[in-house]
Amino acid sequence: MEGFCEQVVKVNRSTKHVVWCLLIVLAYLIPIVFLMALFYRGVMAGAFDYFYPLFALVLSMFGAFTLWACVPRIMKVEYDYSVYGSDFIVAKVTAKATRKRKLKVEIKHIETLEKLTDKDIPKNKYVKRYDFTGNHDVNEVYFAEFRLPQKGLCLLLFVPNEKILEGMRPYLNRELALKLLRKSK
């Protein structure tokens, strides 16, 4: 295939991901403990009501299935950058099972492509901001400004490798390609 290259960027886990997983676990653990406490109280009082442990068992099985289905989707996320001809495509891959296209841009619409030098993002007003960095170090992040016909000026933050930049270079305008060539050497 002519003009095709791709890169997979793993999303580094942040505290937000861990907090979501803990909230999911607690959402099922607290009701189960409460139901088992009600059962224990009933046993101590001499009444054998098996509704509470049966309900707790069903709830715990449902919770285990939900954890089995949801936690990998939260914790195992990757971004797939692809240059296919003159298009730059970003897809989100969840748990190596689900792939969803997040962005498709014609490379010729990119007006600015530079490495992010510090934590300052360009101050222009953007209609849409796309962040596909995966919580990587700021020193590795590039930003691109582009115009989408249906939306307007947009900002893209991403972490490309040299292969992706080389794949994009023939389709960039001349000034950007030369600037990118000088910075990479």
pLDDT at 164 over 80: yes
**Torsion over CA: 155, 157, 158, 163 (sign):** positive
pLDDT at 185 over 60: no
The 3-state DSSP class for residue 63 equals helix
CATH class of 4-11+79-184: mainly beta
C-alpha to C-alpha distance for 127 and 17, rounded to whole angstroms: 27
Q: What is the dihedral of CA 12, 15, 19, 25, to 10 degrees?
A: 50
C-alpha to C-alpha distance for 148 and 87, rounded to whole angstroms: 13
pLDDT at 1 over 70: no
Tallying the residues shown for the chain, one arrives at 185
pLDDT at 181 over 70: no
The overall average pLDDT reported for the chain is: 79
C-alpha to C-alpha distance for 182 and 6, rounded to whole angstroms: 23
Strand arrangement, sheet containing 77-84: 4-10, 77-84, 87-94, 98-106
Average pLDDT (139-150) is 83
C-alpha to C-alpha distance for 116 and 112, rounded to whole angstroms: 11
Average pLDDT (8-12) is 80
